[in-house]
Amino acid sequence: MNHLKHLLLTAAASSLLILNLSASAAESSADLVANALNHSARPGADMADDGRRMPLEVLAFAGIEAGMTVLELEAGTGYYTEILSRAVGPNGSVIMQNPPAFDGFFGEGVTQRLAGNRLPNVRLSKTNFDALDAADNSVDMVTWILGPHELWFAPAENVTLGDPAGSFAEIARVLKPGGVFLAVDHNAETSAGPEVGGTLHRIGDGIVSRMARAAGLSESRSSNLHVNADDPLNNSVFDPSIQGRTNKFVILYRK
């Protein structure tokens, strides 16, 4: 009986330790992001967008850690790049990726973001989504925030941003075993096909999940932090009635 009691106490203590370690890891991710958000060199225009974008919640959910190598797909002018750069710290790195066809959309935004080597652990990469500039099994986290729908968007006649299946295969290729892929995008109606990515700039979470699974990734967890039940899901994300307030899915996949 004493032996059984000892085993039960040991198991309980081990469970408590695991819970405490998990809580500490979650706090650590949130602290890293919070410190990045409050950095003195962060542009005020970025800070003004935090309430809508919820970067603290998104990146804490993803489990960002110091020292990670992060590939940020469709980084745009670098709102998230700056946060990721400071969250992973000097021992980590960020690949800031944009398709070459998007250059005309950004003006001087990217140049200003990286001017004077202000984010020394960031490397700019201009590739299509199906030709990522990273070695096999070299990345801890891939993020694609408000972007998977772009695979069905043509920025100009006869210009594509990458083959959809090939793009997801590339994400799986560059991730380390156990690495994670964070996908966030404007949700579409369940019945909508992927072509609405090129018109409404939306995509169904089911389509993204099917493509991720086909590439060898498994769904780890999802969050409802960007859910908006008032979004009709069938209009353009640029419609003034919903712009900035769309219903978005937030899903983490693991290799």
Query: 44-78 b/e with 16+ CB inside 10 Å = b?
Result: eebeeeeeebbbbebbbbbbbbeebbbbbbbbbbb
The model's pTM is 0.88
Give the pLDDT confidence score for residue 110 in this predicted structure: 95
For residue range 97-130, list pLDDT tens digits in order: 999 999 888 889 999 999 999 999 999 999 999 9
Q: Which CATH architecture describes the domain 27-254?
A: 3-Layer(aba) Sandwich (3.40)
pLDDT digits (tens, 9 = 90+) for 176-191: 999 999 999 999 999 9
* pLDDT score for 18: 35
In the prediction, which pLDDT does 159 show?
87
CA distance 255 to 71: 15
pLDDT in tens, 7-40: 333 333 333 333 343 444 444 899 999 999 999 9
